[in-house]
């Protein structure tokens, strides 16, 4: 006899089927797949709509109205749809994961809402049993069939008297289990049916002791015909206010029939957060998937909230989001083009409308323009940037400055703005989000324009040199100033520049700032890190304190005979120049300012006291 190992291909294997704990599946659905028990009503509506759609394909004249009947703790939903035979019941209702639309999956994605065959199980989140009575429209000889299912995983099937159910269709009965009665209240059922099904193509009515309410609205507002463009715009804005809960600043139509998408995007009336991708209200063939679905519009479109209906995109298993695939990527690109087209149109034809939009969302447009040279070319005359000529469009700025110098930070711009403007040097503040990237594209859009990074040496070179004789008169001042500021890695020079109200200008390049940051970090670090950072030290240009010879304050420095008081005056000029850069001060800089202020205050106090003695 030959012994065979378990891995021997010739060994005999016994095959077994997985055992499914339905209560465990229900718990998984209610706590992990679906966001809330409320979705049970959406799944019931989805099945009813799919059944009506299937019958309508066979008989376009068949009835389509769906009716929900609500009692104190019961709910019945009836549809005149395709119905089921007993074979269908065993195949579809009693087999988890099988969908009646799987036979033609591509057709199902376009014609039906359901694809996963697990929707009916969502009802077990609110009930202990489900009763289904159905009669098939495709097999008139088949009797009506009743299916009773329990949350413990058991079910029964029996045939019914055809005389009691003469018309094709399906009815589902639910009874609320303990703790779930709130989901069966007539008002709650009506609200849920309206939220999920307001855009469904078939009439849906909720009936209770209080009467009947139709929750469907018919043709979506963006597909209706209006007498004028103004009426259409007003209707769209009112729909957005009612549906999204805020008053939109503007509206953008997103109709893209070729992509199987329609709807509108509403422009936020408050600035959006560029770092937060926007969430949108998305419908699948009229059934609400969710009111916070992400990814359907480009990330840069954070300034809009969309209400979108699609018949081509694929939902996730929970039908509360969209599956990220190539089709969604194409739709996202198409809808992004619609938003760009809208901006292009109002920029060319409705400047007041554009101005209102940019007053709130200029940042969003700049973010978008980084990825579209055509859009940037169109929007360039309307986007304002902070420059040495004020807040102006770059098209206007470049008429006066063919060489555009751009800073890396806001602090760097503030450091030189006043002096650069007085000297006729064109500088753009590149420290704000997206501005530096957009300025870098100017040479491609505006021939003859050159863009360079701001260099402290370029500012210094533009300042007027001082007459050698006058500079010689300031030699003692310069010598003392260099001694005072040398520990702070700052050189001192004298130049003549405007405005005269600026007695001193603090200039440092990026290399000098990086070295200063390294030195400060090394000073505060432990011995090991201080040694590592010390090894990174490099010889770089030092910062400069440029004294303005046009300033009366600087010219009077040579009259100070007291070296201690002259030192205090130099420290004060250095501190004032630092404050003009609007950058955070180091501990050493703060101590210097406090010392200079204290000494000036002491000097002034003593001078006042001396004058008082002379008066006596």
Q: What's the pLDDT at 595?
A: 86
Judge whether residue 111 has pLDDT over 50: no
Residues contacting residue 527 through CB under 8 Å, at least 6 positions apart: none
How far apart CA 504 and CA 501 sit, in angstroms, is: 9
For residues 33 and 69, which has the higher predicted lDDT (pLDDT)? 69
For residues 495 and 457, which has the higher predicted lDDT (pLDDT)? 495
Instruction: Provide the b/e sequence for 163-188 (b: ≥16 CB within 10 Å).
Output: eebeebbbbbbbbbbeebeebbebee
Mean per-residue pLDDT over the chain, rounded: 84
Q: What's the pLDDT at 64?
A: 96
Average pLDDT over residues 443-459: 88
How far apart CA 529 and CA 531 sit, in angstroms, is: 5
Long-range contacts of 398-403 (CB under 8 A, 24+ apart): 398/442, 398/446, 398/449, 400/426, 401/425, 401/426, 402/448, 402/449, 402/450, 403/449, 403/450, 403/452
Judge whether residue 572 has pLDDT over 80: yes
Q: Are strands 403-406 and 427-428 parallel, antiparallel or unpaired?
A: parallel
In sequence order, what E strands does 137-182 have?
145-150, 155-159, 169-176
Average pLDDT over residues 529-553: 70
Average pLDDT over residues 403-412: 90
| Band of residue 100 on the pLDDT scale cut at 50, 70, 90 | very low
Structural domains in the chain, sorted by start: 22-101+111-214 (3.30.565.10), 221-354 (3.30.230.80), 383-454 (3.40.50.11260), 464-608 (1.20.120.790)
Query: Between helices 351-369 and 326-349, what is the axis angle to 10°?
Result: 140
Q: What's the pLDDT at 520?
A: 55
Q: What's the pLDDT at 590?
A: 86
| Band of residue 451 on the pLDDT scale cut at 50, 70, 90 | very high
Residue 499, preceding bond cis, omega within 30 degrees? Answer: yes
| Band of residue 136 on the pLDDT scale cut at 50, 70, 90 | very high
Residue 79 is labelled as binding a ligand: yes
DSSP 527-546: HHHHHHHHHT----PPEEEE
| Band of residue 107 on the pLDDT scale cut at 50, 70, 90 | very low
Residue 170 is labelled as binding a ligand: yes
Q: What's the pLDDT at 8?
A: 58
For residues 366 and 614, which has the higher predicted lDDT (pLDDT)? 366
Model confidence pLDDT, tens digit, residues 222-280? 999 999 999 999 999 999 999 999 999 999 999 888 888 999 999 999 987 766 667 89
How far apart CA 174 and CA 129 sit, in angstroms, is: 7
Residues contacting residue 551 through CB under 8 Å, at least 6 positions apart: 500, 501, 502, 503, 504
Average pLDDT over residues 432-448: 94
Across-strand partners of 136?
A: none
């Amino acid at each position: 006899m030959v012994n065979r190992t378990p891995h021997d291909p010739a060994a005999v294997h016994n095959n077994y089927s997985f055992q499914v704990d339905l209560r465990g599946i229900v718990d998984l659905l209610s706590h992990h797949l679906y966001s809330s028990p409320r979705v049970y009503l959406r799944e019931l509506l989805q099945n009813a709509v799919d059944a009506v759609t299937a019958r309508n394909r066979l008989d376009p004249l068949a009835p389509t109205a769906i009716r929900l009947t609500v009692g104190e703790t019961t709910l019945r939903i009836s549809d005149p749809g395709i119905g089921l035979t007993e074979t269908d019941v065993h195949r579809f209702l009693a087999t988890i994961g099988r969908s009646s639309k799987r036979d033609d999956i591509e057709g199902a994605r376009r014609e039906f809402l359901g694809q996963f065959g697990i929707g009916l199980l969502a009802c077990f989140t609110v009930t202990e049993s489900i009763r289904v009575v159905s009669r098939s429209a495709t097999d008139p000889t088949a009797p009506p069939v009743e299916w009773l299912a329990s949350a413990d995983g058991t079910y029964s099937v029996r045939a019914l008297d055809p005389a009691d159910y003469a018309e094709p269709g399906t009815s589902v009965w639910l009874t609320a289990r303990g703790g779930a009665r709130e989901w069966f209240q007539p008002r709650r059922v009506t609200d849920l049916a309206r939220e999920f099904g307001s855009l469904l193509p078939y009439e849906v009515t909720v009936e209770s002791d209080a009467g009947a309410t139709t929750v469907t609205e018919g043709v979506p507002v963006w597909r209706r015909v209006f007498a004028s463009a103004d009426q259409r715009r007003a209707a769209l804005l009112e729909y957005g206010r009612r549906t999204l809960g805020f008053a939109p600043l503007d509206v953008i139509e997103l109709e893209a029939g070729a992509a199987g998408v329609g709807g509108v995007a509403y422009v936020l009336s408050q600035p959006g957060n560029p770092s937060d991708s926007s969430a949108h209200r998305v419908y699948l063939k009229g059934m609400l998937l969710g009111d916070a679905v992400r990814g359907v519009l480009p990330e840069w479109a954070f300034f809009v909230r969309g209400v979108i209906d699609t018949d081509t995109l694929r939902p996730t298993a929970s039908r509360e989001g969209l599956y990220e695939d190539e089709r969604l990527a194409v739709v996202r690109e198409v809808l992004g083009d619609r938003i760009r087209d809208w901006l292009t149109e109002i920029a060319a034809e409705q400047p007041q409308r554009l101005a209102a939009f940019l007053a709130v969302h200029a940042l969003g447009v700049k973010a978008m323009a980084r990825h579209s040279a055509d859009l940037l070319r169109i929007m360039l005359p309307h986007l304002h940037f902070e420059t040495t000529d004020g807040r102006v469009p770059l098209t206007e700025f470049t008429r006066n400055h063919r060489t555009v110098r751009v800073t890396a930070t806001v602090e760097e711009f503030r450091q030189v703005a006043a002096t650069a403007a007085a000297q006729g040097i064109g500088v753009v503040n590149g420290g704000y989000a997206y501005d530096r990237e957009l300025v870098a594209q100017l040479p491609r859009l505006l021939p003859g324009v050159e863009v360079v990074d701001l260099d402290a040496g370029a500012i210094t070179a533009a300042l007027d040199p001082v007459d050698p004789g006058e500079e010689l008169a300031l030699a003692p001042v310069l010598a003392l100033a260099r001694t005072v500021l040398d520990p702070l890695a700052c050189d001192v020079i004298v130049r003549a520049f405007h405005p005269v109200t600026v007695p001193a200008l603090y200039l440092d390049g990026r290399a000098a700032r990086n070295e200063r940051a390294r030195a400060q970090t090394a000073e505060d670090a432990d011995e090991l890190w201080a040694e590592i950072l010390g090894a990174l030290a490099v010889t770089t240009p030092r910062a400069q304190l440029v004294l303005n010879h046009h300033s009366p304050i600087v010219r009077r420095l040579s009259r100070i005979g007291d070296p201690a008081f002259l030192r205090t005056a130099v420290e004060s000029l250095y501190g004032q120049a630092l404050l003009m850069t609007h950058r955070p001060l180091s501990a050493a800089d703060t101590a210097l300012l406090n010392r200079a202020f204290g000494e000036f205050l002491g000097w002034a106090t003593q001078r006042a006291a001396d004058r008082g003695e002379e008066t006596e």
